[in-house]
Amino acid sequence: MKTFLKKHAFGAALLLASLQAHAQLDKIPEPPAIDAKSYALIDFASGDLLASKDPDARVEPASITKVMTTYVAFDEIKRGRLHYEDEALISEKAWKQGIDSSESRMFLDVGSRVKIIDLLRGIIIASGNDASIALAEHIAGSESAFAELMNQYAAKLGLKNTHFVDASGLPDPEHYTTARDLAMLGRALIRDFPQDYKIYAERSFQYKIAHPQENRNGLLIKDPSVDGIKTGHTSSAGYCLLSSSQRTGRRLISAVMGAKTWAYREQASLELLNYGFRFYEMVPLLGPANPVATVPAYKGEQDTVQVGTLQPVSLSLPRGAKDRVRMEPKITQQAIAPIAPGQVVGTIAITLDGRLIRNEPLVALKAVAEGGLFTRAVDTVRLWWAGGQ
């Protein structure tokens, strides 16, 4: 008997060890150790934060500021208040921004008129401070007024820890952002202006001078999946890079802030992007084709109605974590006809390993018309017994 017990105990121990080993294999590694002030890696489709280091720490955006400058311009174009072929008059302030310093510039001439599309390329590709000021003045009359517009857009986009004072990103105590906010700004840029965004993938731009200016984002050459977004550097901000890559139908966005060299900001950004694509996957969870539950429909032509989400809900999850996701619906409102698609009846909590990762409204997926007089009378009693109305 003792021999039997020892034999089976040994077998159970081997089985437990095997299960533990497999569990360890399913655990994804920690993100790369990035030597920078802060960073954030997000999934474009879901907005989920995949990896980070101090993502909400205040940092200087430097020339990544120009992403918001172009966002405002693209929105003006979308609204029909600005056009690519419009011409902006180059002020002395914009001209002097390049002439009187070693800052990046497009080499604009004072008093000249330059097409908006050229200014945009000068901002995006050449990172021209002179072009940024010229565009800001054309849109808002002055750079300070344009900065107010930038802050309005930042608030609208939910960039809670961002504030701008100029259009190009020169150092100022009141000009700040975070890695998370910049990643979300990049997401908004690509989502809202997919056609205009293509300028960010252009490798070079030539205006006036003998040789074209190369795009400062070296990842455009190193990795063909990268199609943007923007570099930034000042002595106080360090070397920064907001980048985006699209592979096999997925897009990730990374923001690396305060690296020590331009080469390292590219290396760090690529490490983060590779990590996200390798160890995370997009998992569809909810949508009109995936009802969560069926609930009673009172006073209606049908007795029940399916509930879920009208819009698809997908999460970017660690590889292999799909089976550990749990969805817990909570009905907070009785479904009483007439019921319209999208009528909120509760919430659904999505958890991974017991940790809440998302709350979504739970809504009726289809319409339910009001029933006849008898049905309504019977259901009035049913609701009374159920504590409803």
Looking at the annotation, which residues are catalytic? Answer: 63, 66, 127
Could you give the CA distance from residue 316 to residue 339 in angstroms, rounded to a whole number?
Answer: 32
- Count helices and strands in the chain by DSSP H and E runs: 10, 17
Could you give the CA distance from residue 309 to residue 332 in angstroms, rounded to a whole number?
Answer: 15
Q: Write the CB contacts of 81 (distance below 8 Å, at least 6 apart in sequence).
A: none
Task: Of 130, 103, 117, give the one whose Cα is nearest residue 70.
Answer: 117
Distances (CA, A) of 326 to 190, 279, 308, 357, 374: 31, 20, 14, 10, 40
In this structure, are residues 286 and 358 in contact, taking their beta carbons and an 8 Å threshold?
Answer: no
Distances (CA, A) of 305 to 62, 88, 291, 347: 53, 57, 10, 15
What does the angle CA 333 – CA 334 – CA 337 come to, to the nearest 5 degrees? Answer: 125
3-state SS class at 82: coil
3-state SS class at 197: helix
What does the angle CA 110 – CA 112 – CA 113 come to, to the nearest 5 degrees? Answer: 135
Task: Of 99, 52, 37, give the one whose Cα is nearest residue 276.
Answer: 52
In this structure, are residues 368 and 305 in contact, taking their beta carbons and an 8 Å threshold?
Answer: yes
In this structure, are residues 349 and 328 in contact, taking their beta carbons and an 8 Å threshold?
Answer: yes
Query: What tokens does 316 get?
Result: 């970017």
Q: Does the N-terminal peptide bond of residue 338 adopt cis geometry, omega within 30 degrees of 0?
A: yes
In this structure, are residues 187 and 44 in contact, taking their beta carbons and an 8 Å threshold?
Answer: yes
Could you give the CA distance from residue 329 to residue 53 in angstroms, rounded to a whole number?
Answer: 33
Query: What tokens does 367 get?
Result: 């319409």
